[in-house]
Amino acid sequence: CQTMAKSSFEYVKKFEADDSLLPNTWIVVRLDGKCFHKFSEEHDFSKPNDIRALRLMNYAAFTVLREFNDVLLAFGQSDEYSFVFKKSTTLYKRRAAKLLTTINSKFSSSYVFYWKKFFDEEPLKYPPTFDGRVVLYPSDENLIDYMKWRQADVHINNLYNTTFWTLVLQGNLTPQQAEKRLCGTVSADKNEILFQEFKINYNSEPEIFKRGTLLIRKSVFNKNLDKNSNIIVDTHDDMLKDRFWKDHSSLLLNRSKEILMYDGPVTDI
């Protein structure tokens, strides 16, 4: 009979590995586009920074935060996004595979679903792939250093890419010549090349290119509704400065306690 059959097969369930993550520890999920060097060329991304692509990444990440309340904040740059869960989360009993796959799946499907909203006439030629990993950080200091590490990466890459593409697009060097020219240069040299040869002040480049995007939750007072609303906002602040972490000391608490006066439109979540 059916119940007998069910119980005689059910033992296979026990083969599933227990992958629940250590309690009271920061859980970070980082996604990264697969072969986006190629994907960006095939979809005609402007170099070095395609703003449509960055906004689509941010929007896909926004849909993740909107759906998963236990994600405190997220940081994105280039083809990657990191999601930080609140320390005390018990979502999916902290099972690593469940957390990683649902976040990746929501992000990836949103990337495709909202493609047209940002790319308009540019067709999506094939379904993109994102890889993902889970990393645990035991202390606040480790987590803050993780955030600083990802943002420092934006700076290093963007200064290089901005100089490289300026040499190619405005300086008429071949990619090989530009690469050779930049070989062994430090940050100051690249700033100098941009300023002396092309009158570009790197500091005046858009913040989103230089620093990536940090999505955080805020509680704002909405005059029209006469109540506080929880919203998700994108910021491009400098997390490498210790000042940032002092000013945002509530960021790593379970819920941001910051209340802002705000009378613009509110995205209620």
The residues of the shown chain that bind ligand ATP, judged by CB under 6 A, are 32-37, 40, 45, 47, 49-50, 53-54, 78-79
Among Mg ion, ligand ATP, none, residue 53 binds (CB under 5-8 Å by kind): ligand ATP
Q: Do the Cβ atoms of 125 and 44 come closer than 8 Å?
A: no
Identity of the residue, 110 or 256, whose beta carbon is nearer to Mg ion in the bound complex: 110
Residues that bind Mg ion (CB under 5 A): 32-33, 36, 78-80
Beta bridge partners of 76: 81, 213
Among ligand ATP, Mg ion, none, residue 122 binds (CB under 5-8 Å by kind): none
Least distance CB 35 / ligand ATP (angstroms): 5
Identity of the residue, 156 or 269, whose beta carbon is nearer to Mg ion in the bound complex: 156
Strand pairing class (80-85; 26-33): antiparallel
Q: What angle do CA 118, 120, 125 make, to 5 degrees?
A: 95
Least distance CB 36 / Mg ion (angstroms): 4
Least distance CB 10 / ligand ATP (angstroms): 15
State how far the Cα of 41 lies from the Cα of 39, in Å rounded to an integer: 5
Identity of the residue, 92 or 245, whose beta carbon is nearer to Mg ion in the bound complex: 92
Least distance CB 190 / ligand ATP (angstroms): 17
Among Mg ion, ligand ATP, none, residue 153 binds (CB under 5-8 Å by kind): none
* Torsion sign (Cα): 99, 101, 102, 107: positive
Among ligand ATP, Mg ion, none, residue 49 binds (CB under 5-8 Å by kind): ligand ATP
**CB count in 10 Å sphere of residue 224:** 10
State how far the Cα of 201 lies from the Cα of 242, in Å rounded to an integer: 25
Contacts of 36 (CB under 8 A, 6+ apart): 78, 79, 128
Least distance CB 150 / ligand ATP (angstroms): 12
Identity of the residue, 56 or 144, whose beta carbon is nearer to ligand ATP in the bound complex: 56
Q: Cα–Cα distances in Å, from 61 out to 31, 73, 74, 77, 153?
A: 10, 10, 7, 11, 19
